[in-house]
Amino acid sequence: MLMLAFVACNDEEKDQAVNEEVKKKKLPPVEKEYGFVLNDFEVVRDTIESGDSFGFIMDQNGVGHGKVYEISNKVKDTFNPARITAGKKYMILKAKDSAKTPQYFIYENDKINYTVVSIGDSIYAETRKRPVSIKRREVSGVIVSSLSEAMQTQGLSNLLVYELSNIYQWSIDFFKLQKGDQFKMVYHEKYIDDTVFVGVEKVDAAVFKHSDKPFYAFNYLSDTLTGKPSFYDEEAKALQSFFLKAPLDYSRISSRYTKRRFHPVQKRWKAHLGTDYAAAYNTPIVSTANGTVIASSYTSGNGNYVKIRHNSKYTTQYLHMTKRAVRNGQTVKQGDVIGYVGSTGLATGPHVCYRFWVNGRQVDPFRQNLPSAKHIEEELKDEYFAHIEPLKDELEQIPFKNI
């Protein structure tokens, strides 16, 4: 009996020692990314550099030219290897064998979307998305020098500057903001892994107090056919105008519409039936309203130019582009890029000459009573006012910062 007890105790001590050894050799935590368990692979992480090609990257990782050609042909409908961009991140997953054979090439298209290219025995490509979570936020600020500065002092993204500028582009000139102007906004942010900010999902409501006048904006879906919401004010009027105030982000108006101007190139007095917006070379030029391109061409006077018919009444033209981005007959929407600022034709420096026709006659757009977008229908107003009431109350409760 004593011998059995001794053996049993000895076995228990051995088991305890084994358990202690297992604890010491604790397995590493499972690491997952892009839908793969990275522990199962040899992992190569890198960034596309200028001059890199898909073939070069594959060659550096042991994939021969013949296999690269086969991969490129089989995945070209989903992933074009010729269009990989410098600065983009990628990952290569290799088998944990003696040859460390590459199995997958993963290319980050942006922070959310990525492409998985299977480069092992089975060759295919598919685009996937990272899981994104949405967080609702409130923000406010007071202008001291600029909207960007007001955002940056709070550690906020410049994407919010874009959102506000986009919402109020028909009603507020952001080049003329004043010290003391105020803003509040309720919006939704997108996050990866609940920590990495990747953009703004949407804005629910905003108010911008400019020159002591409040400008409200409420996001509302009034057109269920298109499924696209628009912004309206507290009176159910659309913020969007039929025409943008300008065809680009400009530094200054260098010459206005006039019947008499001394031409800087031709050196003679003549009518200038357009508005010149000075801006840096290659600044994007956008269509000021929806329409159809009726001319995308070049003349010695206009240089590269685009002309757009918006309806039977209104037509616009954009001159002196360094290059055009649309073709004749193409349909464009308000805000679409149609070309880039240049100085082609009779021009002394980079600018766009913006010309405006009403019923076939060139006019000064600043003197026109232009139509606005469609307001909320009368039968929908009660529903709209019920929708914005809690949002307006929420805006009122947000305290101003930087005062």
CB neighbourhood size of 188 (10 A):
14
pLDDT at 126: 96
pLDDT at 262: 46
| DSSP secondary structure code for residue 236 in this structure | S
Measured distance CA(331)–CA(291) in Å, rounded: 6
pTM for this prediction: 0.62
The two tokens of residue 69 are: 């050609």
- Three-state DSSP state, 68: helix
Q: Write out the chain's pLDDT in tens, 403 residues.
A: 545 454 555 555 656 655 666 555 666 788 889 999 999 999 999 999 999 999 999 999 999 999 999 999 999 999 999 999 999 999 999 999 888 999 999 999 999 999 999 999 999 999 999 999 999 999 999 999 888 898 888 888 889 998 998 898 777 877 778 899 999 999 999 999 888 999 999 999 999 998 888 999 999 998 766 677 889 999 998 888 778 878 887 655 655 555 544 445 545 544 567 888 888 999 999 998 888 899 999 999 999 999 999 888 899 999 999 999 999 999 888 889 999 999 999 888 899 999 999 999 999 888 787 776 778 889 999 999 999 999 999 999 999 865 4
Measured distance CA(141)–CA(251) in Å, rounded: 25
Contact 303, 313 (CB under 8 A): no
pLDDT at 239: 85
pLDDT at 19: 61
pLDDT at 14: 59
CB neighbourhood size of 52 (10 A):
17
Contacts of 241 (CB under 8 A, 6+ apart): 170, 370, 371, 372, 373
Domains of the chain (ranges plus CATH)? 32-129 (3.10.450.350), 133-232 (3.10.450.350), 252-367 (2.70.70.10)
pLDDT at 86: 94
Taking the chain, what is the end-to-end CA distance rounded to the nearest angstrom?
87
CA of 288: how far to CAs of 243, 248, 316, in Å? 5, 9, 8
